[in-house]
Amino acid sequence: MEKKEKLETLRQKIDAVDSRLLDLLNQRAALVLEVGVIKKEEKSRFHVLEREEAIYQRLVSENSGPFPAEAIRPIFREVMSACLSLEKVLHVACLGPDATFSHIASIQQFGQAARFIYTKSVADIFDEVERERADYGVVPIENSTEGVVNLTLDMFIESPLQICAEVMLEISHSLLSQHERLEDIRTVYSHPQALAQCYNWLNKNLAHAEVKEVFSTAMAAKLALEEQHTAAIASEFAATIYGIPVLKRKIEDNPQNFTRFWVIGKQSPGTTGDDKTSLMFSIRDGVGALSEMLDPFAKNSINLTKIESRPFRKKPWEYIFFIDIEGHVTDANIKKALAMVTRNSQFMKVLGSYPKGKKKTPGADEE
């Protein structure tokens, strides 16, 4: 009896804490509305990405436990998303429909209070943001298994948009089907990238089935729900959204399978102290030309984390180089290096400075 009474007392205390939390959330929302009035009068940015990042970093550093540090960002992301929606609902363009990995990445960055505009192509996402029908877009840029998304890189050659943030999303694929046995499946639907990432598993377990490509994993889930003797490779989140059972989990060939997304918008955020800068340039032809272009980064103690080359579509046999470096474009050493790179290049463009993405495995409720 004593344990039951103690349990009831503890639950009452939890209820009281929850009520205080709710009261504090409403106080926070009221303060956000006041801030919104001032920002509107001053015509300043209503959404300040670097301010959000600073809040995350401060709260993680202040946390003394036992509340898990890794839970702080997703919880406060939703708090900030809900509060911001009282000021203005963010419109975010991404590859649709519901429950694509692009949609999941968008939720991870902006929370579920944002309004998502679904498109069928990366080019359409750029168009939505450029025409200001969306505040931001979320585009895939690189997968740890399949490499870079070349179309996204190509779009930046002429687009005026900037990179505002990056999202690192762990990609875990599941086989979704209304059938309980693999031998009953005759057709497997999925996006080409997902099929490539599960190639060995499919060959081993569903060699008898026909593989068909569709434009998204979410569309694959919908087809598997509508058609008999079919299955889809998609996320568990898609299974929940579309009400289709999970037949097999974690069927990706590489268990360390991450996709990197870029958040694109009209303006890059200010410095956060833990930033990355992306840029592109073309070089003059000659012996040692590329080495000469990269030398300013070494001389200014700048860590170059990635380099990728693409054919320049407008000039046959010429290449555009895309690179990522650590730091913000406002940092003195980066300013100095970029000035040297600009002098040595035929073409140079800074794509944006933004907070480094944090690798995170999405939970079942937010995949």
Closest C-alpha among 235, 171, 250 to residue 205: 250
Q: What is the distance between the alpha carbons of residues 24 and 30, in angstroms, rounded to a whole number?
A: 10
Count of beta carbons in the 10 Å neighbourhood of residue 68: 9
For residue 2, what are the β-bridge partners?
A: none
3-state secondary structure of 143: strand
Tokens of 351: 């794509």
Residue 225's nearest CA partner among 210, 208, 235, 238 is: 238
Check residue 363 and report its DSSP letter.
P
What span, in angstroms and rounded, lies between the C-alpha atoms of 89 and 83?
10
- Transcribe 80-125 into DSSP letters: HHHHHHHH---EEEEE-STT-HHHHHHHHHH-TTSEEEEESSHHHH
- Residue count of the chain, please give it: 367
User: d(Cα 217, Cα 212) in Å, to the nearest integer?
Assistant: 11
- Integer-rounded Cα Rg, in Å, for the chain is 23
CA distance 293 to 135: 34
Q: Rounded to the nearest 10 degrees, how much is the dihedral formed by the CA atoms of 338, 353, 141, 254? A: 100
Active site residues: 259, 261
- Residue 238, classed as helix, strand or coil, is helix
Q: How far is CA 223 from CA 123, 211, 216, 265, 331, in A?
A: 25, 13, 11, 33, 50
